[in-house]
Amino acid sequence: MADFHQSGVITTLHRLGNNGVERLESELLRYSRERPVALVLPCLMSELRGDGLKGIVDVLRSVHYLRQIVVSLSGTDDRSEYEEMRRFWEGVTTLDGAPPVLLWNSGPRVQALYQRLRDEGLDPGQSGKGRSTWLAYGYVLATNVSRVIAVHDCDIRDYHREMLARLCYPTANPNLHYEFAKGYYARVTDRLYGRVTRLFVTPLLRAMKSVIGSVPLLDFLDSFRYPLAGECSMTTDQARMNRIPADWGLEVGMLAEVFRNCSLKRICQVELSDNYDHKHQDLSDADASRGLHRMVVDIASSLIRNLASYGVEFDAGFLNTLTAAYVRTAQDAIASYNDDALLNGLQFDRHEEEVAVETFTRALRAAGLGFVRDPLGVPQIPNWNRVTSALPEFLDELRESVETDASASL
């Protein structure tokens, strides 16, 4: 059983006991009349061969309160693979009996829409999870069917109905008034996972607070138990107004936008499960263009630029101080995790943890120096309010493109 401790500046909704997923789903079905829910699933074609997606599809066949399911497919420009993915979802239906909508990011119609945005000066960014998720938000907004959007990854290995129900509940329940909910969970098997959160994000946030002092954005981010979780739910108003990065800075960038656009009383984090397992990325300590090394560069870049927007000054001297503070904080964290693992009989390779911190330190310096050279960096994807202001008909064109792709495959 989880603790019930409230800490930080946002509300934490814990998993206290096991009261049954049936109760949650029954209430969500009732709330769907007033707050219909869309589930957005950013998905790579390669995940069709993985060991997570099949379990997710099997579970969703028994979920009946969702008004929309939008699978945003990336990683293939082959129509036969697009159709293979469509067939893979057979048997999954929404509350109204409709099949999932498959949004083909690499298809010619969607690619033409991306080019139209670029021509208008609205760069949708590079291909990746951020852009895939953003476009799915656009499709949900275009249909004007749902009032809540839930998002999760497609590589979850231990997916179950309660996880989804708990993710949707805070924003779908009209009596709770939350506009954004972030999922969290433990990442433990026979060892501790979640290296980027444990050894980079949390130590960096606390190192920043020790160097800079109290900054509301830092206090906000440090309130989340798992800020890099890919699972969240939000109102469609939040999906419409928030700008997000296209790269691995997606989760941190999204939280920064929520902080900017939403009252703290309307934000919560919700415990989804006792444990969670998904695909583990390689550290890639020797190659900054891959794996966790690349991920940390993007996360650090997003965090630095968001702090700069609140007046925090970054120069080479400050970066040196911050790097030293981060290394000390991360090393102290390793000692704490070592003791925790020892008490619980978990495997713990202290050398591997130290190598991870050394890799993340190089990534932090690369991100900081990149900001010093180019403070603006790669722009975030424009929010949907700006897109519809510049191109009022764009959402209708997106909906028509998606539906044309679907009908052409029948």
Q: What is the DSSP string of 222-276?
A: TT-S-TT-S-EEEEHHHHHH--B-SSTTHHHHHHHHHHHHS-GGGEEEEEEES--
Give pLDDT, residue 1.
46
* 2 confidence band (pLDDT: 50, 70, 90): low
Give pLDDT, residue 288.
85
Tell whether the torsion through CA atoms of 261, 134, 148 and 58 is positive or negative: negative
Q: Phi, psi at residue 57, to the nearest 5°? A: -65, -40
Give pLDDT, residue 188.
87
Long-range interactions of 394-397: CB distance < 8 A, separation 24+: 394/113, 394/116, 394/117, 394/138, 395/138, 395/141, 395/142, 396/142, 397/113
* 120 confidence band (pLDDT: 50, 70, 90): very high
Residue spans of alpha helices (H) in 374-409: 384-390, 394-408
Q: Are 232 and 377 in contact (CB under 8 A)?
A: no
- Identify the top-confidence range among 77-81, 182-186, 232-236: 232-236
Buried b (16+ CB within 10 A) or exposed e, 371-396: beeeeebbebbbbbeebbeebeebbe
Closest alpha carbon to 319 in 221, 201, 212, 216: 212
210: number of Cβ within 10 Å: 14
Residue 298's alpha-carbon distances to 54, 70, 383, in angstroms, are 30, 26, 20
Does 410 have pLDDT greater than 60?
Answer: no
d(CA 20, CA 221): 31
Give pLDDT, residue 51.
82
Q: Are 314 and 374 in contact (CB under 8 A)?
A: no
For the segment 160-180, what is each residue's pLDDT rounded down to a tens digit? 999 999 999 999 999 999 999
d(CA 276, CA 156): 8
For the segment 213-239, what is each residue's pLDDT rounded down to a tens digit? 989 999 999 999 999 999 999 999 999
Average pLDDT over the chain reads: 93
283: number of Cβ within 10 Å: 20
The stretch 38-56 carries a mean pLDDT of: 92
